[in-house]
Structure 1
Amino acid sequence: MHSSICLGVLLATVPFACGDAGGRATASDSAGPTAGSVGTGTSESGSDSDSDTVTAGSDGQSAGSSTTGVPTTSDGTGTATATTGDVTTTTTTTGVSATTSDTSTSGSTTGPNCDDMGGGGDALSVIWIANSGEGTVSKIDTKTGQELGRYRTRADAGGSPSRTSVNRHGDVAVANRTGGVTMVIARKERCIDKNNDGVIQTSTGGADLLAWGEDECVGWHTALAHGDNRPVAWTSGTLNPQTCEWENLDVWTGWSDVAPGTAVVALLDGDDGTIIQQVPIPDLPQPWSGWYGFYGAAVDQESNVWLSQLQGNNPQPAWLVRVNRDDFTYDHWEVPGEGGYGMTVTAEGYVWLCGRSTRRFDPLTATWADAPLLNGGVHTGGCMGDGEGILYRGSYAQIHGIDTQTMQVVKTLDVGQPGDDHIWGVAVDFDGKVWGVPRNGTRAYKIDPGTGATELVFQGLVSAYTYSDMTGFALFNVTPG
């Protein structure tokens, strides 16, 4: 099935007409949420066992729970382990060749005559992981494993943040599942001295959590009074070759709690969080007795947003939806079999749904392909491409690498430790290393996909629940700078 409907409803700025190229509106009329406002929302609930419900770190695990001991990982060729604070690093060597080199970067990331990574620089050597049970997001250095900052995502601790998305500057937008999107600025020199005291007051680590409104690297918060605010994805923006600055960086999000079978997709202004446009989608199928809307989001090279609907096929197929950036119309395709939890768009332009199955959609031919089922199908969340023809996805205590053309499993990375739940979040960093984040857990793992060795174990997360583009690597591979 394929439909195209223009249903833009604007709350905060002048509405675009259908077919408008989407320049930024500048009217003063403001009927929507303002930057810095705080919403309340209701806690997420659901009767299905596959729901991603988290209430103050519940879901079978108390907030902040962990197991003791951080064993090292070895591929049998010899290891050297060092532990500093909450970070354990493991260097694996074979003869005289070490496997911890961080010199490779997949995908082109350099703008014309501009500095490295189009202005993002070291800010893109960061992974942002949501502490769902604590109501915060952690900023972790992907090279050292050091936590560089921890930030509140709402005035209360009840936002249940989950999906994160990273833009060209390394800034993060995090969606609170019980309502509201918060943006945190990655580079201190770009933060705003809100009290004009000449000093940027901001978190310096996991133990340095500032009160709401005090951290001057929290760029904006858009209150959304919706208890089903999951998907989030930055647009690519445009590079100004004179200034080497990325412009028109905006954020897609959405909610699905208005009524069963309905959803709303919204585009937020990346500078201040105001709503540029809303796109109602009134006719989503209701595949389960309980209502579940959009669970994942990712952009393509045109900054259109693709959204996945949870599971499905009982009694109706789930939908894969694309909302078009240029005119705010939307298109949809039925998903054969189940839908999926997480999703991504890879460098080839393929759209992937990752749930119990791994499904690839080709927008050019509108055709689907499936990877072989692993262990009869796995219950997991996120996935991301490496820019070199492999899609990584979680599978219980492992991460599998799937060839994006043949759909065959070509790599198996052992990740989890005793006490971990399924590997739910999967990401690739700008050194080509793969990250795995267990569901509702306290740890994050960095793995060398070439050797399978675990190079780093970060300890200190609080009921982490995420599956999205936590590093910005997926965005750069779809539209290199």
Structure 2
Amino acid sequence: MAVCLLVACGDDNRADSSVGSATVTMTATITVGPITATGSTLTEGATQGTGPTEGTASGGDTDGTSESPPTTSNGSMTSVTTQGGPKFDLGVTPDGGTSCAGNMDIDESFIWIPATSHGHVSKINTRTLVEEGRYLTGPSGGTEDVSRTAVSGDGRFVVVNARGTGRSTAVAANIADCIDANGDGQITTSTGPADVKPWGTDECVVWTILHANWSGGQTHGPRGITWTIGDYDKATCTYKNQKVWLGFGAMQAGAANFVRLDGATGLLEQSIEAAGWNGSGYAPYGGALDPQDNAWFTGLRGELARVNTSENPITITRIPQPGNIQSYGMTVDRNGNPWMAGCSGPVSTYDVNSGQWISVAGANACHRGMAIDHNDHAWVASNGPCGLVEIDVTTRTLVAFHNLAQCSTPIGVSVDVDGFVWLVDQAGWAWKIDPMNVGAMQNIPVEGNHYVYSDMTGGQLKSVTPPPG
């Protein structure tokens, strides 16, 4: 099947406002093949918080417009003939020293940049700087309002969240992971920016889900998201049982819903509701994984939450933030400490062992997305002033503020497998930056308006998980 449409429903038990857990019974209806989607008209909510807010060229959500219902797309299919396909190189071989059946010998790296204005996501080779594919993430174009992305630790899949329609969609990076829906022996998929397949026809779009317990409204649409690394299979040199954790606004007024999806199918496996969510009226804003496989989420200028995935039943630990932190973008370091980029406020971390909040001196600004590189330096997008902030994670000190040759509204930051820092500007381009030679940064035009946070490369997962062995 090219795409699965999963709509889950069921009863859940409510979590309390401090520490909560829930066990749910769920059913799912799956439609195989080209998608038929239905929906209702939704109205975007008003912006919340202080300083620049979400979604427009200046950083704010648009206000007072209404969304069109998703439509059905049954366009014609143009096939691309392939001879097998590459998979992500894990740099290891199964027991006995044999190769991974010839399937793991291609080393690759992609960054996935969503176009909020168009409803598609671009797959860009981080080494060649070539856009190798462009994929619709839903049937409604810019109304999908795509924002957060998350890439699996093995680099094989991306999930893109659509705030406007309550949708999450997965795309496979490699032909070997795509699905021949029509059984013609070929994979129909995009070959570049000029080759965008109609919705429901690209066979590398492997699943999509409309979140059933979403309260509706753009401010409550799915945002914060992270993969788990999964279980490493030495026999095949692949990761299996990979999961996706994400958050959105629940039906209960003021509540947040945290859900776990099966990464391979999009099937809803777990749903936990947190009453009284503190996030300036928005859904859980940022998401990242820690070394213990816990999913961390932040509220916009609000609270910090850890989903304790090893507990049975799963619980949520909720931690108030000091008012000056003003959290926006976030990540987690290799020691399991979450980091928050404040707008407008300092870059800060929560030290898990001591239970203390620590802010970086001299780092007050309107910050957006952030990521940590292979040398334990954090890189943070800054809108006021406009540029890139570098912080030493170990000493929790400011290293430098870097000016950009072209700077409009820096939003997303990610680190690729080679250690290069990527900074995505909302106005339509990205920078590839060598941390050891920041002045030699490369500019890559990317069509569309890009309001993107979270892990666009899979680099955050790699930084907190040990190599397979």
Same fold (TM over 0.5): yes
Equivalent-residue separation in structure 2 for 1:398 and 1:121 (angstroms): 38
Instruction: After TM superposition, give the deviation of residue 51 of structure 1 in Å.
Output: 2.6
Equivalent-residue separation in structure 2 for 1:202 and 1:143 (angstroms): 21
The equivalent position to 2:131 in structure 1, one of 147, 158, 183, is: 147
Question: Which residue matches 2:296?
Answer: 306
Task: Give the stretch that moved more between structures: 248-257 or 233-242.
Answer: 248-257
Question: Which residue matches 2:147?
Answer: 162
- Is residue 291–residue 335 contact of structure 2 (8 Å, CA) maintained in 1? no
- Is residue 352–residue 361 contact of structure 1 (8 Å, CA) maintained in 2? yes
Distance 1:255 1:347, change over 3 A: same
Question: Which residue matches 2:65?
Answer: none
Equivalent-residue separation in structure 1 for 2:331 and 2:105 (angstroms): 24
Task: Name the aligned partner's letter for residue 246 of structure 1.
Answer: Y
Equivalent-residue separation in structure 2 for 1:138 and 1:132 (angstroms): 11
Task: Name the aligned partner's letter for residue 292 of structure 2.
Answer: E
Specify which structure has the bigger relative contact order, considering alpha-carbon pairs within 8 angstroms and separated by 6 or more residues: 1
Q: What are the equivalent positions in structure 2 for 1:215-234 lying under 5 Å apart? A: 215-224=202-211, 226=214, 227=217, 228-234=221-227
- Is residue 346–residue 387 contact of structure 1 (8 Å, CA) maintained in 2? no
Matched, 1:133 2:117: yes
Task: Give the stretch that moved more between structures: 450-459 or 194-203.
Answer: 450-459
User: What CA deviation, in whole Å up to 9, does each residue of 1:369-418 have, x standing for no partner?
Assistant: 101243xx32232111113221111123321110112221113332251x
Task: Name the aligned partner's letter for residue 232 of structure 1.
Answer: I
Question: Which residue matches 1:5?
Answer: 20
Instruction: After TM superposition, give the deviation of residue 37 of structure 1 in Å.
Output: 6.2
Equivalent-residue separation in structure 1 for 2:106 and 2:456 (angstroms): 15
Q: TM-score, normalised by structure 2?
A: 0.79
Equivalent-residue separation in structure 1 for 2:392 and 2:371 (angstroms): 12
Identity %: 32
- Is residue 341–residue 380 contact of structure 2 (8 Å, CA) maintained in 1? yes
Question: Which residue matches 1:404?
Answer: 393
Task: Give the stretch that moved more between structures: 328-337 or 44-53.
Answer: 44-53
Question: Which residue matches 1:453?
Answer: 439
Task: Name the aligned partner's letter for residue 306 of structure 1.
Answer: W
Distance 1:43 1:187, change over 3 A: farther
Task: Name the aligned partner's letter for residue 411 of structure 1.
Answer: A
Equivalent-residue separation in structure 2 for 1:280 and 1:134 (angstroms): 31
Instruction: After TM superposition, give the deviation of residue 429 of structure 1 in Å.
Output: 1.1
Task: Name the aligned partner's letter for residue 260 of structure 2.
Answer: L
Question: Which residue matches 2:422?
Answer: 435
Question: Which residue matches 1:175?
Answer: 161
Q: TM-score, normalised by structure 1?
A: 0.77
Matched, 1:414 2:416: no
Corresponding pairs, count: 400
Instruction: After TM superposition, give the deviation of residue 302 of structure 1 in Å.
Output: 2.5
User: What CA deviation, in whole Å up to 9, does each residue of 1:15-59 have, x standing for no partner?
Assistant: xxxxxxxxxxxxxxx36999966463635332346331359x996
- Is residue 46–residue 53 contact of structure 1 (8 Å, CA) maintained in 2? no
- Is residue 347–residue 387 contact of structure 1 (8 Å, CA) maintained in 2? no
- Is residue 90–residue 237 contact of structure 2 (8 Å, CA) maintained in 1? no
Equivalent-residue separation in structure 1 for 2:287 and 2:241 (angstroms): 19
The 3-state SS of whatever aligns with 2:412 is strand
Equivalent-residue separation in structure 1 for 2:56 and 2:206 (angstroms): 26
Question: Which residue matches 2:5?
Answer: none
The 3-state SS of whatever aligns with 1:251 is strand
Equivalent-residue separation in structure 1 for 2:32 and 2:295 (angstroms): 23
Task: Name the aligned partner's letter for residue 316 of structure 2.
Answer: Y
